[in-house]
Structure 1
Amino acid sequence: MDTTSLLPPVTEALAEFPKAFHDETEYVGSLGVAWAPGRVNLIGEHTDYNGGLVLPLAVDRVSAFAGRTRADQTVRLWSIHFKTYAQFSVEGLPDTFDEQRAELPGWARYILGVAAELARAGITLKGFDAVVSGDVPLGGGMSSSAALEVAAAHAYALFSNHAFTIGEENATLSPILVAGLCQHAEQIASGVMCGILDQAASCLGQPRKAVLLNCRSLEYRYLPFADPTISIVVVDTGVRRELADSAYNERRQQCEEATKLIRESILQAEPANELAHDIKELCDITPEQFARYKQQLPELLQRRAGYVIAENERVLQVVKLLEAGNIEEAGKILWLGHAGLQNDYEVSCTELDALVDIACNVPGVLGARMMGGGFGGCTINLVRHEAVEALQQAIELQYPERTGRRASIDICRAAAGPGCTFVA
């Protein structure tokens, strides 16, 4: 195979493999690679675990594996970023997950988690040695962990000699099933009760397309996102938060409590309303129902639930605008999304707010908002090509003055999903 067409992290991992693993290990397969992209989310933040709609796209930043199948069931990994080895066994999973997890560095727990979920699904895995690389910013809101998990799933498929396959037709696992498997792997590995947004975006990516995903039904369809005059600019605050140590899980609990209280209020006021029994998550509640019954909630839960229900509607608004080719109006909705995240859902931070405020004052920026779980990470900006340099200059000048930090800027494009192949 001509490896010159491979993404940079893939070629980096390939080059590192003979340096990282040069002992007398017995290999039983060819050299192979697997990769999966990070993502940006245009709109629909914190709606995924509330059964709502999201509108992400995969980007041209990936996590990658390069390695070979072993003759046993041991997995050995070398992380280029962390410059550490990790080792575990796929024998006895998922029962041995907790015991093995405790001995691993944090990054390797996600890879072990994917193996445990595949084993739980009845798939027999083989061991392998691999180098792990990537250029998805870690903790920056572009889903580096999901990219790692989805890449790991494809690595297991490849290095287990296709004991299972991933694809749409006649495959062992569909992409959306892989997304759900990787979502659960992240939950058990990290303790964060994440939704399926990140993993689904990585699994379903297509060039020049965004994905409208219903996180309840898991139905999805693609929307064009290839305006040649618009850039997707991701700006990293440089602030990192461990979501398990933040209020992420607390927000999820608040949403569940708000759902319960509104469902009870509807049933009490409308005992003949059979549909009220079907309210399981916040996004089952219509804006009209919320307006009628929100006073039954404590003020804090009103704001949490109000944000989620309004954000779900914003996704639908952006979809209609993209279908109409009106990306300028779609951009305006991003500003509204950030205001809700900042004031009602309260998952922003000073640095994120500063970046959005700076972007708001640059002509040619159509919209900006914080992206990801919050408390740090990145903003997403829809920017006319001719305004990208002005935005970069404004951030370089104003952001350090306002926060004492420096931000990094990436220009991304909607890219393809994951893959794997043997190269030698």
Structure 2
Amino acid sequence: MDASKVRSKFIELFSNEPMIARAPGRVNIIGEHTDYNDGFVLPAAVDKEMVFALAPNGLEVVRAHALDLNETEEFPLTLDAPREGWINFIIGVTVELSKKGASLKGYDLVFSSDVPMGAGMSSSAALECALGTGLNTLFNAGLSQKDIALAGQASEHNFVGVKCGIMDQFASTFGKANHVIRLDCRSKEMELVPLKMEGYKLVLCNTKVTHSLASSEYNTRREQCEAGVEILKTKYPEITNLRDCTPEMVKSCQAEMEAKVYDRCLYVVEENDRLMRACDCMAAGDLAGLGKEIYGSHDGLSKLYEVSCPELDFLVDQTREREDVLGARMMGGGFGGCTINLVAADAVDGFIADLTAAYKKELNKDMEAYVVVTGDGARTEAEVEA
């Protein structure tokens, strides 16, 4: 994303030359709702970003301008309680970085983004990681990339009220062009894996449906998984969470679980298995096999985890008989957002046209599509120029 309009607005508002920090949104190839169950995920940073212009202001306040909304807010550095609206993200990152030892002073910022909002591409993590990376450099805080990612996650927990896992912040911080990240959400160990997609592209189809239920239902799913783990521990005391379970273990406790709790737990352990098979397919260059696992992921998310919606299901179903699509599934928290599709490169234009027309005809709604390219993780302007 071009930073010139962000820099220009900053100079207009604050009469100062800023530094630039940026961080990307992400896609997730497979492994959805597994991160907060200490499972595995397979995200990639993309070429759509959140961009910040920042500079110290010599005051004891933070002055922030959201360029896309044309709104300005400020808060004292001593504030450590949530507020309403987008400023909550800025407060949260500021507080959580301070908890990790960053000595922050008053600063000004302007930010803008081309990460589609509500599309399941984690614009919130892009915001947190861009701001965290910028403040870390601006005030020579000396925090690691992992510290910045964890501060972003903590700000979601403590200020936004979403008990998210670590995937989004790690992808936004550590991403690398032409790679995916295989992240172990328990140990926080990660491996950059080359993404070889000769002849295919990743296409996102945005339902344009907002996440009206996402935050509350996200937390409910987490509670249901935790309830299932407590039941599983009575039979398998060696486990700590669903990461340690097999589908057979979950099935053996079905009679003791509420139906919804059982479905949630079964989905998570099956999704971890699908991710491992997907990694094997990628290593073997078996994109068709990868596509089958992606379809399996959607079926589990829709039927067992129940975080899909009619619009997402419709778009996935439209692809199932197409020879130019190897796999499709909903991506992100659910209840709207995008599907991710593995589409033959020479068929992308026709694919987008067909699904756009079908979506309009069936649901009388407009669909947006994005062909996404993997990109680099959070960085400052100096790093970009280097």
Distance 1:178 1:31 in 2: 20
Aligned match of 1:297 in 225, 235, 257? 257
Q: Is 1:43 paired with 2:30?
A: yes
**Identity between Structure 1 and Structure 2 (%):** 37
* Map of 1:155 onto structure 2: 134
Residue identity matched to 1:229: G
CA separation of 1:327/1:363 partners in 2, compared to 1, >3 Å: closer, same or farther? Answer: same
User: What is the TM-score of this pair, normalised by structure 1?
Assistant: 0.87
Cα RMSD (Å): 1.8
Deviating more after overlay: 399-408 vs 332-341: 399-408
Contact residue 55 and residue 107 of structure 2 kept, 8 A: yes
Contact residue 231 and residue 253 of structure 2 kept, 8 A: no
Deviations 1:61-100, CA, capped at 9 Å, x for gaps: 110101322112322111111110011222x3xxx321xx
* Map of 2:4 onto structure 1: 11
Secondary structure of 1:345's partner?
A: coil
Distance 1:339 1:286 in 2: 19
The Cα of 1:129 is off from its aligned counterpart by: 1.6
Secondary structure of 2:42's partner?
A: strand
* Map of 2:184 onto structure 1: 214
Q: Is 1:232 paired with 2:194?
A: no
The Cα of 1:413 is off from its aligned counterpart by: 1.0
The Cα of 1:245 is off from its aligned counterpart by: 5.0
CA separation of 1:243/1:419 partners in 2, compared to 1, >3 Å: closer, same or farther? Answer: farther
Deviations 1:92-128, CA, capped at 9 Å, x for gaps: 3xxx321xx32xx522211110111011112210222
Aligned match of 2:121 in 133, 142, 145? 142
Deviations 1:394-416, CA, capped at 9 Å, x for gaps: 11211012222111111111111
Q: Is 1:265 paired with 2:252?
A: no
Residue identity matched to 1:176: K
Q: Is 1:120 paired with 2:99?
A: yes
* Map of 1:340 onto structure 2: 300
The Cα of 1:306 is off from its aligned counterpart by: 0.6
Contact residue 199 and residue 345 of structure 2 kept, 8 A: yes
Residue identity matched to 2:255: Q
Contact residue 60 and residue 414 of structure 1 kept, 8 A: yes
Contact residue 54 and residue 197 of structure 1 kept, 8 A: yes
Distance 1:387 1:199 in 2: 32
Secondary structure of 2:68's partner?
A: coil
Q: Is 1:97 paired with 2:84?
A: no
Deviations 1:253-294, CA, capped at 9 Å, x for gaps: 10000111011133xxxxxxxxx33x2211111233223333
Contact residue 191 and residue 244 of structure 1 kept, 8 A: no
Aligned match of 1:82 in 55, 69, 91? 69
* Map of 1:284 onto structure 2: 244
Contact residue 133 and residue 148 of structure 2 kept, 8 A: no
CA separation of 1:224/1:143 partners in 2, compared to 1, >3 Å: closer, same or farther? Answer: same
Residue identity matched to 1:334: I
* Map of 1:269 onto structure 2: none
Residue identity matched to 1:19: E
Aligned match of 2:108 in 116, 121, 129? 129
The structure whose Rg is larger is 1
* Map of 2:43 onto structure 1: 56
Deviations 1:330-380, CA, capped at 9 Å, x for gaps: 011111100101111000001111111122233211111001110111111
Distance 2:204 2:159 in 1: 27
The Cα of 1:49 is off from its aligned counterpart by: 0.5
The Cα of 1:329 is off from its aligned counterpart by: 1.2
Q: Is 1:69 paired with 2:56?
A: yes
The Cα of 1:130 is off from its aligned counterpart by: 1.8
Deviations 1:35-83, CA, capped at 9 Å, x for gaps: 0000000000000011100000000011010132211232211111111
CA separation of 1:245/1:59 partners in 2, compared to 1, >3 Å: closer, same or farther? Answer: closer
The Cα of 1:206 is off from its aligned counterpart by: 0.5
Deviations 1:123-156, CA, capped at 9 Å, x for gaps: 2102222210110111110000000000010121
Secondary structure of 2:188's partner?
A: coil
* Map of 1:318 onto structure 2: 278
Residue identity matched to 1:76: R
* Map of 1:178 onto structure 2: 148
Task: Describe how 1:341-356 pairs up with structure 2 within 5 A.
Answer: 341-356=301-316
Deviating more after overlay: 342-351 vs 187-196: 187-196
* Map of 2:172 onto structure 1: 202
* Map of 1:270 onto structure 2: none
Q: Is 1:386 paired with 2:346?
A: yes
Contact residue 38 and residue 186 of structure 2 kept, 8 A: yes
Task: Describe how 1:14-29 pairs up with structure 2 within 5 A.
Answer: 14-22=7-15
Distance 2:204 2:42 in 1: 16
Secondary structure of 1:139's partner?
A: coil
Contact residue 223 and residue 322 of structure 1 kept, 8 A: no
User: What is the TM-score of this pair, normalised by structure 2?
Assistant: 0.95
Contact residue 68 and residue 128 of structure 1 kept, 8 A: yes
Residue identity matched to 2:217: A
Secondary structure of 1:106's partner?
A: coil
Q: How many residues align?
A: 384
Deviations 1:241-260, CA, capped at 9 Å, x for gaps: 24565411111110000111
The Cα of 1:21 is off from its aligned counterpart by: 3.0
Please list every run of 5 or more consecutive structure 1 residues that lacks an aligned counterpart in the other structure: 1-6, 166-171, 267-275
Distance 1:15 1:245 in 2: 34
Distance 2:316 2:360 in 1: 14
Aligned match of 1:395 in 355, 363, 373? 355
Residue identity matched to 1:17: F
Contact residue 213 and residue 219 of structure 1 kept, 8 A: yes
